[in-house]
Chain A
Amino acid sequence: MERWIGGSASTTTAVGWDTVRVTTRLRECWSAVRYLVVGAGTSLLSLFALAGLFAVLLLCPFGVGIPSLAPMIRLARWPVGVDRRRAARKLGEPIPEPYRAGSPLKDPATRRDLAWLAIHAATGTIIGVLAFGLPLGAVQQVITSFVWPLVPGGIEGSLGIVVDSWPKAALDLLVAAAMVVATLQLPRVARWQARTARKLLAPAPGVVLADRVAELTATRAAALEAHGAELRRIERDLHDGTQARIAAVVLQLGIAGQLYDRDPAMARDLLGKAQDTATDALAELRTVVRSIYPPLLSERGLAGAVRALAERSPVPAVVDVEYETGRPAAVEAAAYFVVAEVLANVTKHADASEVDIVLGGTASVLTLEIRDDGRGGADESRGSGLAGIRRRAEAFDGTLTLTSPPGGPTVLRVELPCGS
């Protein structure tokens, strides 16, 4: 084949063709042939999958089919998945899986899968056979039209023409030319097949949006719930603590005023008590303020506040700030509390000797990576603070990823979108 390429190159330059373009075209054809021939294989798989589904459907009236329907659909996702990955490779861009959790019967992706199976089963095999046969046929035709005089009785070509004379050989060459032209169209066919796969096997645009809305609705509900709980906690703290103490101060001052003339010593004593009570109220108020929005955050920004947390940490912690710009206050506060919670967790459970905190991201997302060299094996389901950290992240439409193999290290990564 290479010899042939070389030959065409030397003759075609005279005509003014570009060698590079010819080789590119041939390479495209070769890749298309491979894609389409493998496609014939997956087409057969699709046919089997359809047949299986059909059989299960036929069994449905007898009862046994119904429970096997969902597993059968799941099974059919395997050949579909092969084609999805093939199309993604061919088109050079990933095609995400569209499946939802839950029953495949209710999944809108199932209908699209079936459409693909039907189209591919019907066309894939024929196209694959043609992709295999056309170039080979062309070569055979050319050979036939030149070697027929050597074979007594002529040679039978592809279209049933028995080549036993030069006019017939010329006709044979004409057919070969048609086959070459058809072969040159194969890249187009391969692209069509891949694009059809992408159209049907990627999540439907409306479905993506619907899923996103469902997810946002869920996290929004969780965020509202968390916000409500937070408000109730703050109200309780202020009501039971600060408010009660300030009321006591007012009371003590009132009594001191009454006693001022009659018993100055007692009045002075009460003034001192009122001062102490007010001081206690302030101390409580500071605790509440810290739990709402740490003052250090507004004075020093997130990086400064996290550094202060690291300084206070019993386990030595290093802070690396890769991106530092003001983010929305709520996001920064969430990030701050995540760090505080993680450091507390590390101190309590990890048996670590060092913690690395990396504060990064872009203007639109804040990322937080906290790595410790402790014993690992952190498990979200075992009631540590991790579930709380996840809720905190999800309330901001953020994500938490945790890797913690036994023996460590534990790496926790939180991403918080910053709106816009």
Chain B
Amino acid sequence: MRVVIAEDDALLREGLSLLLKTAGIEVAAAVDNAEDFLAFVEKERPDAVVMDVRMPPTHRDEGLRAAVRAREIHPALPVLVLSAHVETSYAVELLADGVGGVGYLLKERVGKVERFLDALQRVAKGGTAMDPEVIGQLMARRRTADPLEALTAREREVLGLMAEGYNNSTIAELLVVSDGAVLKHIRNIFAKLGLPSDEGAGHRRVLAVLAYLGRDAGSAGTTPHPGARGISAVPAVP
């Protein structure tokens, strides 16, 4: 796998390079700004991109814009965005094209090397890796008549992990339960939330769950509010 790193902090950039090389992943380029990154991407298509949000020259959101731009050049180019803070609105923008291969994690998640590498692999294969904090922000939204309240604590946990982008066997592993138990939880969740029971696997399921979580308070099933671009703006899953 050939990966491009775009990160302006030298320590983090070097650390990421080292970490990926140690894991046997080829680092095709490590750049410190969005322009160099886009210049590289225009020449060739890497297998995945690891990207910081805030970079020179303005230190605003150029990383995010560059990521979206890169996915216009190479549709479905796997992009894993790292940031010092997460915003649900950024997650929405990254997921907006609905084709998957998107990750959005806090920088410190890199510290849990195995999980980070797993997330990168997942994204590279067209899956999703959402930071627990994004999911937390979505789940914490106060709703009137919150349907999430019908879920048991375990089911909420499973829902969160589904939204982060994990497949059933990984969820089983993380929660230390059997695959069958996870399957049962998922069936219960879909039944309680009124989601179609078979949402398929992988990225589609993640989108469905995120769309559900991003939906407006108390208006399950209706179209989203025109002004509010929740995660519900993610294109409908076919």
Chain A positions within 8 Å of B, measured between CB atoms, are 275, 278-279, 282, 286, 289-290, 295-296, 298-300, 304, 307-308, 310-319, 347
Q: Is the Cβ of A314 less than 8 Å from the Cβ of B141? A: yes
Which of B85, B92, B217, B229 has most A Cβ within 10 Å? B85
Interface residues as binary, B140-164 with A (CB distance below 8 Å gives 1, 0 otherwise): 0111100000000000000000000
* A319 in contact with B143 (CB, 8 Å): no
Chain A: which residue is nearest B140 at the CB level? Answer: A312
Interface: B33 (CB within 8 A):
no
CB distance from B190 to the nearest CB of A (A): 24
* Alpha-carbon gap, A286 to B111, bound state (A): 17
Contact B228 A310 (CB under 8 A): yes
CB distance from A299 to the nearest CB of B (A): 4
Contacts of B225 on A, CB cut-off 8 Å?
A: 316, 318
Q: A317-B227, A317-B228 are in contact. Are A312 and B88 (CB under 8 A)?
A: yes
Cβ proximity bits B53-86 to A, threshold 8 Å, 1 near / 0 not: 1100001110010000000000000000000110
Q: Which residues of A contact B64 (CB under 8 A)?
A: 299
If over half of B's interface residues share one DSSP class (helix, strand or loop), that class is named, otherwise mixed; here it is: loop
Q: Per a CB cutoff under 8 Å, which of B53, B60, B85, B92 touches A290? A: B85
If A312-B88, A314-B144 touch, whether A299 touches B227 (CB-CB below 8 Å) is no
**A316/B54 contact (C-beta < 8 A), A289-B85, A308-B87 known:** no
A295 and B85 form a contact (CB under 8 A): yes
> CB distance A318 to B111 under 8 Å?
no
Interface of A: prevailing SS:
helix
B106: chain A residues within 8 A (beta carbon): 282
Question: A311-B228, A314-B143, A319-B227 in contact; A299/B53 too (CB < 8 A)?
Answer: yes
> Quick one: given A296-B87, A308-B89, are A316 and B228 in contact (CB under 8 Å)?
yes
* Cβ of A325 to closest chain B Cβ, rounded Å: 15
The CB with the most chain A CB atoms within 10 A, among B59, B84, B217, B228, is that of B228
Task: Kindly list chain B residues whose C-beta atoms are within 8 Å of the C-beta of A300.
Answer: 60-61
Lowest 4 A-B CB distances belong to which pairs?
Answer: A318-B227, A316-B225, A299-B61, A308-B89
Residues of B contacting A279 in the complex (Cβ-Cβ under 8 angstroms): 108, 111
Q: A299-B61, A316-B216 are in contact. Are A311 and B229 (CB under 8 A)?
A: yes
Interface flag for B197 (CB, 8 Å):
no
Partner of B141, one of A298, A307, A312, A318: A312
- Nearest residue (CB) in B for A285 is B84
Q: Are B111 and A315 neighbours in the complex by a CB distance under 8 Å? A: no
Which single residue of chain A is at the shortest CB-CB distance from B216? Answer: A316
9 CB contacts below 8 A, A to B, read A278-B108, A300-B60, A304-B89, A311-B88, A311-B92, A311-B229, A316-B216, A316-B225, A318-B228
- B223 nearest CB across to chain A (Å): 12
Contacts of A308 on B, CB cut-off 8 Å?
87-89
Q: A299-B54, A299-B61, A300-B60 are in contact. Are A316 and B141 (CB under 8 A)?
A: no
